[in-house]
Amino acid sequence: MWKTLACIGRSRLYWFGLVMLSLAFEGVALYFQYVKETYPCALCIHMRLWIVGLLAVAILAWLLRRWAVATTIGHLLVLVISGGMTWTAWQLLGTERGFLVSECGFDLGLPAWFAPDKWFPALFEVQDMCGYTPELLFGITMAEALIVISVGLLLWTLALLIAAIKPGGSRDC
């Protein structure tokens, strides 16, 4: 099992799949923003930033997948990113359901030297207060879907990372 997971973690298809997943996430967010006119809050923008990070790591790991060290570092970075996504999704869900009190305003809370909302306002500008996320399908809200997907990605990446660092895990891929 570990060898199979290690081979998946080094495969071209896996990293390409993460690229496509990231683009799909961003596409859905932009669809809701510009077509459905459901404007993003600060937590939504934080989630978009995590997803752009996932996209960048997936592209780099896809290009460098032949080197075991590069894929291991890629898995570590995806683990950190999926942890950040999980935390942000948890805050979104808590705000939506009312079990967390969010001080979510129009400020991203990022340092002055990192201003994606100024550089790319079409993608990263906060346009609404935190509250309810839109319904996707079958009564499932965006916050509910994001928490499930983020936790799933976190657990999957943890398994791939363990497989990658186990001795002899991916030599025959």
CB of 43 within 8 A of CB of 91? yes
CB of 12 within 8 A of CB of 63? no
Split into its structural domains, the chain has a count of 1
120 pLDDT band (50/70/90 cuts)? Answer: confident
Q: What is the CATH number of the domain that holds 14?
A: 1.20.1550.10
CA dihedral 97, 22, 36, 83 (to 10 degrees): 10
Which backbone phi and psi does 35 adopt, to 5 degrees?
Answer: -100, -50
26 CB-near residues (< 8 Å, 6+ apart):
48, 51, 52, 55, 123
Mean pLDDT for the chain? 88
Asked if residue 13 belongs to a domain, the reply is yes
Mark 116-130 as b/e (b = at least 16 C-beta within 10 Å).
Answer: bbeeeeebbbbeeeb
Q: Domain containing 42: what range?
A: 2-165
pTM, two decimal places:
0.87
Sign of the Cα torsion 43, 133, 35, 78 reads positive
Asked if residue 145 belongs to a domain, the reply is yes
* pLDDT single digits (tens) 61-74: 999 988 888 889 99
d(CA 105, CA 108): 8
* pLDDT single digits (tens) 29-45: 999 999 998 888 888 99
Asked if residue 130 belongs to a domain, the reply is yes
Asked if residue 120 belongs to a domain, the reply is yes
What distances in angstroms separate CA 152 from CA 24, 49, 56, 94, 157, one per listed residue? Answer: 16, 19, 20, 18, 8
Asked if residue 170 belongs to a domain, the reply is no
Asked if residue 131 belongs to a domain, the reply is yes
Asked if residue 172 belongs to a domain, the reply is no
